[in-house]
Chain A
């Protein structure tokens, strides 16, 4: 399963996307992220299952036919 990795260096910083890992379990994904993205002393490092990422744009665009009074 693919996991997206997010981190921040200092408390109060934005938590930003820094990469991804592929792992067979949540537990292993956390360890892969810890070892692979070890270049900073992170205040927070999290992984999110790709399946749990909720699409906002969903790859579609507003259609021209949408009426402003809807």
Chain B
């Protein structure tokens, strides 16, 4: 087990917390899809995300993080999940346009990690993520035809929040501390560009316009580098309570 540079622990924590809340949201919405196949896909993705979380938590524990804290014994404002997962109201279209950017951003951050002892783990997660992301894009393409207003309105909010999870544009190859430390193989600025290009291409020939998306967010001065977001928002206490498994200890994570 290699010793990570300090910012790397927060970086992996943000990926892990995003996956933890993603798994929770997938499960919550897995009986709300427009077809049975969508529900099956959501339930499957929920299990895979929680599987990833369990593996990543072991890595974080090995770096000194407390296992009870990792498993949910903490305040909502101590979770470093993508802000677009804090609360998902509205329709299934807005749900899909919220989880998709978060899942893709978390995968891009994970894929950028360049550590030999994590390579096998990340490769396996990538096999799962390929199908998550391909499904999201396939579904967003159809929703761009069926419900373009909701998709566009939601993405105008969630894409900048996912970009905040990735990190500020100022973290280029000269300024990104994790790239500089060799923990990642590409700077944040490059990851952001790939992320933005992907969504611009996906919606290029649709009725969804991304011209009003703030592609420059977050400003470095406003960015919380620990929670990888802007502001003090957080998941609800009820979400954390469910994640802790308080109501049924049989299903607690540890």
Report if A28-B138 is in contact (Cβ < 8 Å); known contacts: A34-B131, A35-B131: yes
User: Which residues from A are CB-within-8-Å of B139?
Assistant: 28, 31
Name which of A6-14, A17-25, A56-64 contacts chain B: A17-25
* CB atoms of B40 and A35 under 8 A apart: yes
Distance in angstroms from B84 CB to nearest chain A CB is: 22
Report if A27-B37 is in contact (Cβ < 8 Å); known contacts: A34-B131, A38-B44: no
A28 to B134, CA, bound (A): 8
User: Which residues from B are CB-within-8-Å of A27?
Assistant: 134, 137-138, 141
Interface set of B (CB-CB < 8 Å, partner A) = 35-37, 40-41, 44, 131, 134-135, 137-139, 141-142, 145
* Partner pick for B41 among A22, A24, A25, A31, CB 8 A cutoff: A31
* CB atoms of A31 and B131 under 8 A apart: yes
User: Which residues from B are CB-within-8-Å of A30?
Assistant: 134, 138
Q: Which 8 A-B pairs have the closest CB atoms?
A: A28-B138, A35-B41, A32-B37, A27-B138, A31-B135, A24-B142, A35-B40, A35-B44
19 cross-chain CB contacts under 8 A: A23-B37, A24-B145, A25-B138, A25-B141, A25-B142, A27-B134, A27-B137, A27-B138, A30-B134, A30-B138, A31-B41, A31-B135, A31-B139, A32-B35, A34-B131, A35-B37, A35-B44, A35-B135, A38-B44
A18 to B41, CA, bound (A): 18
Distance in angstroms from A23 CB to nearest chain B CB is: 7
Report if A32-B41 is in contact (Cβ < 8 Å); known contacts: A27-B134, A27-B137: yes
Q: Is the interface of B mostly helix, strand, loop or mixed?
A: helix
A24 to B35, CA, bound (A): 11
User: Which residues from A are CB-within-8-Å of B137?
Assistant: 27
* CB atoms of B44 and A31 under 8 A apart: no
Residue on A nearest B36 in the bound complex, by CB = A36
A25 to B139, CA, bound (A): 9
User: Which residues from A are CB-within-8-Å of B138?
Assistant: 25, 27-28, 30-31
Residue on B nearest A34 in the bound complex, by CB = B131
Residues of A41-63 at the interface with B, using a CB-CB cut-off of 8 Å, are none
User: Which residues from B are CB-within-8-Å of A34?
Assistant: 131
Residue on A nearest B145 in the bound complex, by CB = A24
Distance in angstroms from A43 CB to nearest chain B CB is: 15
User: Which residues from A are CB-within-8-Å of B134?
Assistant: 27, 30-31
User: Which residues from B are CB-within-8-Å of A22?
Assistant: 35
* Partner pick for A36 among B40, B131, B141, B145, CB 8 A cutoff: B40
